[in-house]
Structure 1
């Protein structure tokens, strides 16, 4: 096992880690946009006393939740690929970023959507919308 083979392995692992970092960053940004958009719609609904804006807030919340689940699922796939490459013989490195080789060993997309972290975050956003809707209806 030569230095060149080890360098190839480190390069491949760094490529995979870069994708994981971008997916994680995308998820973070998506959560921020979700809060901003929902807050704006709820505030607009309360200011105008029009619950239709609050009802509209459900749609982006669910879309952002599903998209966040997709990012988490992709992150899990790339983490599995990382673990696979980590134990490969350095001479077998081919720089493949294809996650199909780990697809069957990673839980499906829907399990990422309903993971504890996403359920807590997006569930809290949904509960906030419900509370705002009820408060507006009662006023």
Structure 2
């Protein structure tokens, strides 16, 4: 394999790693923010903070899906460069043309590495709210 091809693959791999790291950071920020909202809701006995979860979680869900989409597109680019003839290496980093199959935002929103986390974060405040309502009627 030529040095140009290896260098191009390195550039793409670095981009894939950066997108993966961004996705991980988004998940961390989401959990931190949701935890803070729960603490505020508990401290002030105000469920309005928990309701804010339904605004913030979808925003972070979309951001995480966006970074996964970019990562998948660059993986497709990597596969194309990997099999490309060495004379055709042009160091292009344009991954916008890879919009088929799993490389859509809709598919990324439904990805197994994303949807369970965000659905759980949407169900927790609902569970807390229902427990509070039921405890008022039971006790």
Provide the TM-score with structure 2 as the length reference.
0.90
Distance in structure 2 (CA, Å) of the matches to 1:120 and 1:104: 24
Match of 2:67 in 1: 71
Distance in structure 2 (CA, Å) of the matches to 1:98 and 1:33: 29
**Structure 2 residue 98 is matched with structure 1 residue 118:** no
Distance in structure 1 (CA, Å) of the matches to 2:59 and 2:4: 39
Distance in structure 2 (CA, Å) of the matches to 1:52 and 1:94: 54
Which stretches of structure 1, 4 residues or longer, exceed 2 Å deviation after superposition? 100-107, 132-139
Distance in structure 1 (CA, Å) of the matches to 2:4 and 2:113: 35
Name the CA shift for 1:109/1:96 in 2 (closer, same or farther; >3 Å).
same
Q: How big is the shift at 1:24? A: 0.4
**Structure 2 residue 4 is matched with structure 1 residue 8:** yes
Distance in structure 2 (CA, Å) of the matches to 1:105 and 1:121: 23
**Conserved in 1, the CA contact under 8 Å of 2:102 and 2:108?**
no
**Structure 2 residue 84 is matched with structure 1 residue 103:** no
Q: Summarize deviations over 1:14-59 as a string: whole Å, max 9, x none.
A: 0000010000000101100000100110111111111110101211
Q: How big is the shift at 1:105? A: 5.4
Q: Which runs of 5+ in 2 are unaligned?
A: none
Distance in structure 2 (CA, Å) of the matches to 1:77 and 1:17: 12
Count of matched residue positions in the alignment of Structure 1 and Structure 2:
135
**Conserved in 1, the CA contact under 8 Å of 2:19 and 2:67?**
yes
Distance in structure 1 (CA, Å) of the matches to 2:102 and 2:89: 21
Q: What RMSD in Å do the two structures reach over aligned CA positions?
A: 1.5
Q: Which runs of 5+ in 1 are unaligned?
A: none
Provide the TM-score with structure 1 as the length reference.
0.90
Give the 5 Å matches for 1:1-139: 6-104=2-100, 106-138=102-134, 139=136
